[in-house]
Amino acid sequence: MTDIRDDVRFDFEQLFGYAPQGVWSAPGRVNLIGEHTDYNEGFVLPFAINRRTVLALGTRDDAVLRIASSFADEVAEIPLSSLAPDALAGWSAYPFGVAWALGEFGADLAAVPGVDIYIDSVVPVGAGLSSSAAIESAVAVALNDVWQLGFDRPTLAKVGQLAENKAVGAPTGIMDQSASLLGRADAAVFLDCRSLESELIDLGFAAAGLELLIIDTGVSHDHATGGYAERRASCEKGAAVLGVSSLRDVSVDDLPRAREMLDDETFRRVRHIVTENQRVLDTVRALRDEGPAAIGDLLDASHASMRDDFEISVPELDLAVETAQANGAIGARMTGGGFGGSAIALVPSGGVSRIQVAIDGAFAEHGFGQPVTFVVAASDGAGREN
Ligand code: GAF
What would the pLDDT profile of 307-321 be if each residue is shown by its tens digit? 999 999 999 999 999
Give the integer Cα–Cα distance in Å for 331 and 244: 33
**pLDDT recorded at residue 196:** 98
What would the pLDDT profile of 113-133 be if each residue is shown by its tens digit? 999 999 999 999 989 999 999
Task: Decide the pairing of beta strands 64-69 and 115-121.
Answer: parallel
Span from the CA of 148 to the centroid of ligand 1 (angstroms): 30
Choose the residue to mutate in 176, 196, 220 for probing ligand 1, maximizing ligand atoms within 8 Å of C-beta.
176
Span from the CA of 127 to the centroid of ligand 1 (angstroms): 13
One DSSP character per residue, 79-130 reads EGGG--GGG--STTHHHHHHHHHHHHTT--TTSS--EEEEEEE-SPTTSSS-
What does the pLDDT average to over 261-287? 99
From the list 38, 44, 223, the residue with the least C-alpha distance to 128 is 223
Q: Fill in the amino acid letter for 330.
A: I
> Which residue has a Cα nearest atom 3 of ligand 1?
172
Element (DSSP H or E) covering residue 313: none
Span from the CA of 386 to the centroid of ligand 1 (angstroms): 31
Give the integer Cα–Cα distance in Å for 150 and 41: 26
What does the pLDDT average to over 92-109? 98
**pLDDT recorded at residue 2:** 83
What would the pLDDT profile of 59-99 be if each residue is shown by its tens digit? 999 999 999 999 999 999 999 999 999 999 999 999 999 99
For residue 175, the ligand 1 atom closest to its alpha carbon is 5
> Which residue has a Cα nearest atom 7 of ligand 1?
36
**pLDDT recorded at residue 166:** 97
Ligand 1-lining residues (CB < 6 angstroms): 31, 35-36, 38-39, 172-173, 175-176, 223, 336-337
**pLDDT recorded at residue 1:** 64
Q: What was the ipTM of the complex prediction? A: 0.99
What would the pLDDT profile of 324-366 be if each residue is shown by its tens digit? 999 999 999 999 999 999 999 999 999 999 999 999 999 999 9
Domain ranges for the chain, please list them: 2-200+380-384, 203-376
Give the integer Cα–Cα distance in Å for 312 and 334: 9
Q: Which fold has domain 2-200+380-384?
A: Ribosomal Protein S5; domain 2 (3.30.230)
Among 11, 116, 120, 176, the active-site one is 176
Say whether 57 sits in a helix, a strand or coil. Answer: strand
176 catalytic residue (yes or no): yes
For residue 164, the ligand 1 atom closest to its alpha carbon is 3
**pLDDT recorded at residue 220:** 86
**pLDDT recorded at residue 224:** 65
What would the pLDDT profile of 19-39 be if each residue is shown by its tens digit? 999 999 999 999 999 999 999
Task: Decide the pairing of beta strands 187-192 and 342-348.
Answer: unpaired
Span from the CA of 379 to the centroid of ligand 1 (angstroms): 19
> Residue 331 forms beta bridges with which residues?
346
Range 203-376: architecture per CATH: 2-Layer Sandwich (3.30)
Give pTM, 2 decimals.
Answer: 0.97
Q: Is the pLDDT of residue 223 over 80?
A: no
**pLDDT recorded at residue 225:** 67
Q: Is the pLDDT of residue 11 over 80?
A: yes
Helix spans in the chain (H): 4-16, 93-104, 131-146, 153-162, 175-182, 227-242, 255-261, 264-289, 296-305, 315-326, 352-365
